[in-house]
Amino acid sequence: MNFLKDKTINWRSFTIRLLVSFFATVIGEFGIGCYYGCGLGTDPISVFVDGVHKVCGLSYGDISTICNIILAILIIIFERQHLGIGTLIAVAIAGPLIDVFETLIRVNFPLETTSLMVRMLILMAGLITTSVSYAMAIACRMGIGTFQFIPIFIADKTPIKLDLAQTISDAVFFIIGVALGGVIGIGTIVGVACTGYLMGFVLDRISKPLDDLGPILENK
């Protein structure tokens, strides 16, 4: 920790990045709640969580929290340099938020009485908010999301590039989720096809303003 003796905290950068990280977590879990609530299929990781949900009988949020804790421990052990406040925020509040948003959507838009058009709009809201949240989490550099550990670990420990590692990770989660009974549908296809593009689009536009704030730790 001696290197911190020559550093000072840029409180403006820290505060704004922290708020962005917190907001990214909230809207990201809202997006996942939309995916679950519309009943049209989810992204690969959520297919996995849905499959475990069906087998164990626990809520989506409880399973997400358990997975987040396990993956956070693995990050501490193997990828500590990627650990940050954003990681801890996700572990603490992501799971409960999923349950809250999923319940609100199902109560206000029951699958039995909600038209396909409205459910498609909910799906689009989920796609957009999750994509934006991923971009914000990356841009604010306050720690990786727990489920990002696996592709980053693969990329760090093997010659495989991060984009291919992400595809491998998604494929594994998807296959396990389907095997366990996770729901797939048009939402899964839309998520796989569009999330990366939308995330990149948003990331290109918010990275520079956050970078212009300067690093959290600056030389004295």
The one-character DSSP state at 80 is: G
Query: pLDDT of 104-135, one tens digit each?
Result: 999 999 999 999 999 999 999 999 999 899 88
Give the tokens for residue 74.
């693995």
Structure confidence at residue 124 (pLDDT)? 96
Q: Mean of the per-residue pLDDT values for the chain?
A: 89
Give the tokens for residue 80.
């500590």
DSSP E strands: which ranges in the chain? 7-9, 217-219
Residue 219 has pLDDT above 90, yes or no: no
pTM: 0.86
Per-residue confidence at 220, pLDDT binned at 50, 70, 90?
low
Amino acid at 102: E
SS3 142: coil
Average pLDDT of the segment spanning 181-203: 85
Structure confidence at residue 122 (pLDDT)? 97
Residue 45 has pLDDT above 70, yes or no: yes
Q: What are the beta bridge partners of residue 8? A: 218
Per-residue confidence at 164, pLDDT binned at 50, 70, 90?
confident
Which secondary structure element, helix H or strand E, spans residue 20, and what is its range?
Answer: helix 11-38
What percent of the chain stands above pLDDT 90? 56
Structure confidence at residue 195 (pLDDT)? 81
Structure confidence at residue 62 (pLDDT)? 94
Amino acid at 83: L
